[in-house]
Amino acid sequence: MDYTTYDDESSLQNSSSDFDSDTCDCTDNVIDFSNLSESERQAHEKIISKLLQTTKIDFTHYRKSTVQRRLLRRLGLSKITTLSEYHSYIESNPDEINLLYNDLLLAYTSFFRDPHVFQSLKTNVFPSIIANRLVKDTIRIWIPGCSTG
């Protein structure tokens, strides 16, 4: 039974990518987040603050690399090269903050994308749970954050 909408093939093959190019000129969409100027750092903080104000979700606790990648994606799609420009763009295009928010939610469709984790569950965790339960005990497993099941 197939539960996924998309298989794990290349995004170039299934036309689901935002940027269709065999070669990526990554220098156009790179910001050194570890070495931001003061104005860029402030713009970054304003963007995160705008997300909190609009969505009521505090993205300061999200993985920095994830937030940075998603910001870079939105900058690229908007054809913007600096965080200051992007902050101005957000202010003049209210829908953009929601687009960034949706990008940050990371709706993966490949449930078993980390096979080593599931192998460890199968060989280490589940046998231990089963061995240490009483016969009448029910084993219940909750899978939080599963985007599509």
25 vs 4, 22, 92, 103, CA distance in Å? 31, 10, 28, 21
d(CA 55, CA 105): 12
Containing 100, the helix (H) or strand (E) segment is helix 95-104
Residue 146, pLDDT score: 57
The encoded tokens of residue 93 equal 């295009």
| pLDDT for 105 | 87
Quote the pTM value.
0.56
Question: Residue ranges per domain, the chain?
Answer: 11-104, 112-149
- The helix/strand/coil state of 25 is coil
In this structure, CATH architecture of domain 11-104 = Orthogonal Bundle (1.10)
One digit per residue, the tens of pLDDT, for the chain of length 149 reads: 444 454 544 444 544 445 444 434 443 456 777 788 999 999 999 999 999 999 999 999 888 888 999 999 999 999 999 999 999 999 999 999 999 999 998 666 666 667 888 889 899 999 999 999 888 888 888 776 655 54
The rounded distance, in Å, linking the Cα atoms of 57 and 101 is 9
SS3 sequence of 12-33 = HHHCCCCCCCCCCCHHHHCCCH
Tokens (6 digits) for 132? 């240490």
**According to DSSP H, which parts of 7-81 are helical?**
11-14, 38-55, 64-78
